[in-house]
Amino acid sequence: QSVLTQPPSVSGAPGQRVIISCTGSRSNIGAGYDVHWYQQLPGTAPKLLIYGTGYRPSGVPDRFSGSKSGTSASLAITGLQAEDEADYYCQSYDSSLSVYVFGTGTRVTVL
Amino acid sequence: EVQLVESGGAVVQPGGSLRLSCAASGFTFDDYAMHWVRQAPGKGLEWVSLITWDGSTTYYADSVKGRFTISRDNSKNSLYLQMNSLRAEDTAFYYCTRGSIATARYYFDYWGQGALVTVSS
């Protein structure tokens, strides 16, 4: 029972910009906890993509960017590439449940 | 290079027990909290458990509380998950992850390759 809601899928042509939303509540994103994003390529373990809402680990292209406003967060992918086809998950902390929570996941398809 | 390597995944009957291990290398193990995160086949991610750097404090998801026990041996750079009273709904890939801090809460900056636990008769 994920408390962070993401669209099941988004798609775009190569070179386009896509945005993945992550909708939470006042007990998680709205409480000021950072949002982090993970990329999971088919058949592999998740990999950290964005931390602290908007920071990229070393090696992650600047085509990926994160932001947050109110009780929601977003991951933007600009200049979409075929290698970006993957599942993407947001993550935060929920103070009401006292657990770390993940989003429902979004599959990105490059047309 | 940071590496996390899980082992111990297996097929186990409902009600049975299993112990997962995670061997860490490439970083100072006792500087970091560690977590287990699981993913049922074809499903999303679920946080399972956290242990602080010194093993003094542990936390669990409600779904595993009282059945799973997280532990670590800093002298061996190893993390463990003892799973008892296993249920079909515990079937998942179990990932060992390193925890780093942002706004006083963790995110997971490195992940192992995962160990598959299948609970089935």
Q: Which residue of B has its CA nearest to A46?
A: B111
Percent of chain B with pLDDT over 90: 94
pLDDT at position B89: 97
pLDDT value at A64 more than 90 = yes
Residue B65 near residue B83, CB atoms below 8 Å: no
Rounded average pLDDT over B60-68? 97
pLDDT at position A54: 93
Count Cβ atoms below 10 Å from residue B70 Cβ, excluding itself.
21
Percent of chain A with pLDDT over 90: 96
- Look up residue B67 and give its two tokens: 């059945």
Strand, helix or coil at B75?
helix
Rounded average pLDDT over A4-13? 97
Which residues in chain A are closer than 8 Å to B110, comparing Cβ atoms? 48
pLDDT at position A80: 97
| Distance from the Cα of residue B90 to its chain's centroid | 12
Which residues in chain B are closer than 8 Å to A105, comparing Cβ atoms? 44-45
Distance CA B83, CA A23 (A): 32
Distance CA A10, CA A89 (A): 13
pLDDT value at B10 more than 70 = yes
In B88-117, the residues whose Cβ lies within 8 Å of chain A are 95, 100, 102-103, 105-114
Rounded average pLDDT over A20-48? 97
pLDDT value at B105 more than 90 = no
Rounded average pLDDT over B94-116? 92
* Residue A90: pLDDT band with limits 50, 70, 90: very high
Distance CA A87, CA A67 (A): 18
pLDDT at position B50: 96
pLDDT value at A1 more than 80 = no
Contact B47 A100 (CB under 8 A): yes
pLDDT at position B101: 80
Indicate the average pLDDT of chain A: 96
Test the A interface: residue of B108, B109, B116 with most A CBs within 10 Å: B108
pLDDT value at B116 more than 80 = yes
Q: Dihedral of CA B3/B117/B90/B79: which sign?
A: negative
